[in-house]
Amino acid sequence: MQKFSSLPLSKALLENLDSLNYQQMTEIQAQSLPVMIDGRDVIAQAQTGSGKTAAFGLALLHHLNVKRFRVQTLVLCPTRELADQVANEIRRLARTIHNIKVLTLCGGMPFGPQIGSLAHGAHIVVGTPGRVEEHVRKGTLKLADIQTFVLDEADRMLDMGFQPTIDAIVDQLPAKRQNLLFSATYPAEIEQLSARVLSQPVMVKVESKHDQRSIEQHFYQLDSNDERLGAVVTLLMVHNPNSAIIFCNTRKEVDEIATELRSQGVDALGLHGDLDQPKRDSVIVRFANQSVTVLVATDVAARGIDIDDIELVVNYQIAHDPEVHVHRVGRTGRAGGSGVACSLFSKREAHKFADVQAYLNCDFEAERVPPRPAGVELKSAVMATLRIDGGKRDKVRPGDIVGALTKGGDIAGNDLGKIQVFPNCAYVAVRKRDANLALDKINRGKLKGRKFRAMRIRGE
């Protein structure tokens, strides 16, 4: 393992890494940072959790000239959640560099404030392709000074149909620039994109960080497709998880399964690309804060969700691509925990089962779905989510919400869950038994000296 201090990074960056307690480089960092610091283009195949954000984050900060107040770095991400995470990680890494400005430009957000922020200037822009391209087209974002161009989760951006948009952005970039492409998988489309955008790239690849051994994998063979839904319910009963993701291939399946599970009393919600941004936020927020136990999702929609303690992954079908399978399964057993992954397949999909085994170089037994256990009551969510109609724009901070809810001592700070503040609203998770009391406190009391309305969000 290598230490960051072996790299020619500035003292300020190294000291900050120390204070963040980043001691050793992760594998992707050790492989990619020396070449990126050297100015080479890089294609890095690495997954979420590998430390990839800090890898390109440190490289772009190393090359940045803070005194020159121009947009020098552009990072494109597939989703707003990922763009926010990436921007936050870059800000953390840049804590010791004064006056550095990192701006996010994402779709689903109002345009006007973004134009205002751009007019004030920034060093680094992190955004989703559609919105970035719109700003470029309107002339509100100028790309003439870009030195580093990063494509994060490039495979996912192509899956989401962003290729023409990315091409339009690349057309406006200066010819002399460094290109860094990060992708979990490396299909032919990525190879073609790399050939168009990158110049003599160095390839680095790390195997999935998730230790496959910490994940218990089962493959269940079904006699007919009609058995799938019942099998999902049985597996939920067998494992009775606090938190589970069910991966499906289509949006229609997501809706069907989520509806069916809800009708059976499971705290389940569906997530797919047809949801508008506020709906999507509300689903992800509730799954992450444990107000919902089961998330039914397509691969594209689930990308960028960074949640550590998922106990069970169910593949409604085995993924078409074994790399996608590994990615799905790697959602559980993270951060040193153990996890269970169950994949359902019919005879017609036997080839996919064979592909996964060949890819993992591992023999798995094709099992039968276990019998449904009697008398099991599925765990319901422990938390409830309140939505407050005030957010960053009203200068509402998590501390204000904690203050309002714990005032009087009847709700303890420990009983509050995740708090997430968006531009126009905020979400707070409270124990279910405290939900009405908490609602009352917000609706009758004040935040920042002002009245705000709160409601409990339930159902879809």
Which positions lie near ligand AMP, rule CB under 6 A?
A: 22, 25-26, 29, 48-54, 89
Task: State the minimum distance, in angstroms, from the CB of residue 55 to ligand AMP.
Answer: 7
Q: Which is nearer to ligand AMP, 54 or 74 (CB)?
A: 54
Task: State the minimum distance, in angstroms, from the CB of residue 48 to ligand AMP.
Answer: 5
Please list the residues that pair with 435 across neighbouring strands: none
Helix ranges (H only) for 121-250 are 129-138, 154-159, 163-171, 188-197, 228-239
Task: State the minimum distance, in angstroms, from the CB of residue 160 to ligand AMP.
Answer: 19
Q: Which is nearer to ligand AMP, 148 or 385 (CB)?
A: 148
Q: Which amino acid is it at 209?
A: K
Task: State the minimum distance, in angstroms, from the CB of residue 399 to ligand AMP.
Answer: 22
Q: Evaluate whether 453 touches 282 at the Cβ level (below 8 Å).
A: no
Task: State the minimum distance, in angstroms, from the CB of residue 302 to ligand AMP.
Answer: 14
State the number of CA atoms in the 13 A half-sphere of 285 facing the CB: 26
Task: State the minimum distance, in angstroms, from the CB of residue 300 to ligand AMP.
Answer: 18
CA–CA distances in Å: residue 447 to residues 341, 426, 431: 43, 12, 20
d(CA 53, CA 335): 17
The pair of structure tokens assigned to 247 is: 């991966």
Beta strands in 10-66 (DSSP E): 42-45
d(CA 405, CA 391): 16
CA triple 352-355-360, angle to 5 deg: 130
Task: State the minimum distance, in angstroms, from the CB of residue 245 to ligand AMP.
Answer: 17
d(CA 152, CA 154): 5
119 φ, ψ (degrees, to nearest 5) = -65, -30
Task: State the minimum distance, in angstroms, from the CB of residue 22 to ligand AMP.
Answer: 4
Of 58, 9, 61, 11, whose CA–CA distance to 32 is shortest? 58
Q: Which is nearer to ligand AMP, 33 or 143 (CB)?
A: 33
Q: Evaluate whether 229 touches 255 at the Cβ level (below 8 Å).
A: no
Q: Which is nearer to ligand AMP, 83 or 222 (CB)?
A: 83
Residue located via tokens 């494109």: 76
The pair of structure tokens assigned to 256 is: 């069907």
Q: Which is nearer to ligand AMP, 115 or 300 (CB)?
A: 300
347 C-beta neighbours (distance < 10 Å), count: 11
Q: Which is nearer to ligand AMP, 24 or 65 (CB)?
A: 24
